[in-house]
Structure 1
Amino acid sequence: MADSSANLVLQYHVRSISLPSRLPPHSIKIEAELNKLKSWETSLVSTTNSVSAETIKIGLLGLAELYNCVEELIHSPLTQQAILLPQNGGLVEEALEGSVGLLDSCGSARDLFGMMKECVRDLQSALRRKGGDSSIESNIGAYMCFRKKMKKDVTKCLRALKRKESKTGSSTLLDIEHYPMMVMRVLREVTSITISVFRSLLLFLSASSSNTKSGGWSLISKLMLTRSEASERGQKTFNEVGSVDFALQSLHGSIQRNDAKVDLQMAQRRLQTLDASIGSLEAGLDCVFRRLIQNRVSLLNILTH
C-alpha cells in the first residue's frame, strides 16, 4: 500500500506557488501555508513505508491553519468587492460548489474513522477477556472481515476524490496580477491540496500488512517468522493500521501452535497504539470539518449581504 500511496502522489505535479508581492498580507500567509503543505506532500513521495498517523496529523493541522488564512482572504474588503462584481459571480459559485464536495469527503472520512475506532475497541475488549483460543480466532476473523469491507469503502471515497479533482480547474493559466483571478487561483490551490491530504488519510486506513507491488508474503510465510522478526518488521514496514493486521496474523498462527501468550501481548499493544492514533486523527479531521463549514458560511454570507 505504501507503493500505491507514493504512485498516487506522483501523479500530481508538486510545486511551490508564488503570488504577487503587492498582494495583502493575508495572501502572503496563504502562500506560506500552501508551500508548507506542498513540501509535506513531497515528503510522502520519498516515504518507502506506509505513511504514519503522525505524518497525516501534520497534514491535517497544516490544512486547518490554511483554512484560517482563507477566512481572512474571504473577509477582506477587497475580496468581497471583487466577488460582488457581476462579472465575477462565477468565482463564488465555483468555490461554493467545491466546498460541498470537500465537506462530503471529510464527512465520509470521519464516518470511516468512527467505525474503525469502534471495531478496534471491540477487538481490544475481546482480547482482554481471553475467552479461549477459538473465541480469539473468531474475533480476529470479524476484525479482518471489517477491514476488507473498509478497503472497499475507501476505494469508493478515493474515486469520489478523483472525480472532484478532475472538476477543479487549472490555476496555471489564470492572470494572477488580476485580483479576482488571484483569488480563484488560491481557492483552486486550496482545494487541490485538501484533496491530497484527504487522499493520504484514506490510504492510511486502507494500509495493508503486505507489499502489494511485489505480491506480498503468503500468510504461511508470515506465520513462520520468529516473534522478534515479526515485531521488528511490523514496526518498521507498516503504519499503525498495517501493524495491527500483521500482529493479528501472527497471533492467529501462534494460536494454531498453542503458543499465543507473547503474540497476544503484541497485538494488544499495537491495538492500543492504533486506538490512540485514530483518536488523534479524528481530532484533526473534526478541526478541518469545522473550518470547511466556516468557509462555506462565509461565502454564503457574501452573497446574502
Structure 2
Amino acid sequence: MASHTRSASLPSSLHSTESNVDEELQLLRACVTAPSATIGAACDGLRRLGDVYSSIEQIMCLPSSQAAGLSLSSPQQRQAVEEELDRSLVLIDLCNAMQESLAELKTSVHELQLVLKRGDVVAAQSKVECFVRLAKKAQKPFKKTTMTIRAAREGCSSMVRLLGEAREMAISLLESTSRLLPKQIASSSNASRWSLVSRRFQKTCKLVCEQEQLQALERTMGDLENGAEFLFRRLIHIRVSLLNIVQMYSF
C-alpha cells in the first residue's frame, strides 16, 4: 500500500515541479523583456535562472525515466535530447564568455578607482573608455550564436520543452545583461542614477568618476559575475545529467 502511494504521488510531484518551473520562467521573461529592465534585475535573474535549472535537474534525476519525461525509446526522442546536448555547449560557452567579460569589467573599475586616488584625470578618462570598450565587447558573442541556438524545434517531451525554454531564457537574460553593461558609465549629457560623472570637473575632464559610485559599480560587477558563475555551474550539471541519460539508453 505504501509502495502504491509513493508511485501515485510521483506524477503529481512531477507535475507540480514542472508547473513551478513554467511559472518562474514566465516571471523571468517578463522581467527581462520589460523596457525598464535594470542591471539589478539582471543580477537577480541570473540566480533565479540558476535555481530553475536546479529544479529541472531534480526532475531529470527522478528514478523513473518516464517520470523524468526523457524516455529515449524513439529516434525522435533521442534526436531531441542529442540536439539539446549540442545546444547546451553553445550556451555554456556564452555563459563562460559573460563571466570573463564581467571579471575584466570588475578589474577595470578597480583600476579606475586607483588612478582617481592618484588624481590622474587623464588616466581616469582612459580607464572609463576602456570600461566602455569591454562592455561593448561583451555583446559580440551573441551576434554570432543567438540565432543558431534559438532555432525552434517541436519538443518530443515535456522535459525537452522545459530545457528549450530555459535555454532561450538564459540567452535572453545574458544578452540583455550585455546590452545594459555599456550604460553603467554614462556621459555628462546622459546623467542618470548610474552616471559616474562629477559635475565639479566637467570643464577639465569629460568623465570624472566619483569614488563612492565606483565602489557600488564594482560590487555590481562582482554580483553579476557571481550570478553568471552560479548559472554556469548549473548548466554544467544539466549537461552531465543529459549525458548520463543518453549513456543509460545506449545499452
TM-score (normalised: structure 1): 0.68
Secondary structure of the 1:84 match is: coil
**In 2, are the aligned partners of 1:123 and 1:139 still within 8 Å (CA)?**
yes
Residue 144 (structure 1) aligned to one of 129, 141, 162: 129
RMSD: 2.9
1:106–1:198 CA contact under 8 A, matched in 2:
yes
Distance (whole Å) between structure 1 residues aligned to residue 84 and residue 17 of structure 2: 20
- Determine the C-alpha separation between the residues in 1 that align with 2:84 and 2:232: 16
Cα distance change on mapping 1:84 and 1:139 into 2, 3 Å: same
Q: 2:142 aligns with which of 158, 168, 181?
A: 158
Q: Secondary structure at the match of 1:31?
A: helix
- How many residues are treated as equivalent by the alignment? 236
The amino acid across from 1:303 in the alignment is V
2: CA distance, partners of 1:197 / 1:45: 9
1:1-305 aligned at under 5 Å gives the runs 23-48=11-36, 51-76=37-62, 77=64, 78=66, 82-87=70-75, 88-130=77-119, 135-151=120-136, 153-169=137-153, 171=154, 180-207=156-183, 222=189, 233-235=191-193, 240=194, 243-244=195-196, 247=197, 250=199, 253-255=202-204, 267-305=210-248
- Contact kept, 8 Å, 1:37 with 1:59, in 2: the verdict is no
Does the Cα contact within 8 Å between 1:161 and 1:199 map onto a contact in 2? no
In the TM superposition, what is the alpha-carbon distance from 1:33 to its structure 2 partner?
Answer: 3.1
Query: Structure 2 CA distance, aligned partners of 1:98 and 1:168?
Result: 12
SS at match of 2:177: helix
> Structure 1 residues 43, 89: closer, same or farther in 2, change over 3 A?
closer
Cα distance in 2, alignment partners of residues 46 and 101 from structure 1: 26
Unaligned runs of 5+ in 2: 1-9
Task: Assess, with a 3 A threshold, how the Cα gap between structure 1 residues 95 and 23 changes in structure 2: closer, same or farther.
Answer: farther
* 1:85 partner SS: coil
Identical positions, percent: 23
Matched to 1:277, the amino acid is T
Deviation at 1:251, TM superposition (A): 6.3
Aligned-residue offset at 1:59 = 0.9
Task: Give the partner amino acid of 2:104.
Answer: M
TM-score, scaled relative to structure 2:
0.81
Letter in 2 for 1:96: L
Is the Cα–Cα contact under 8 Å of residues 161 and 195 in structure 1 kept in the other structure?
no
Asked if the contact 2:70/2:159 (under 8 Å) is kept, the reply is: no
For the 8 Å contact 1:26–1:69, the answer to whether it is kept is no
Structure 1: runs of 5+ lacking an equivalent: 1-21, 175-179, 211-218, 223-229, 258-262
Helix, strand or coil at the partner of 1:40: helix
Q: Report the residue type matching 2:231 in the other structure.
A: V
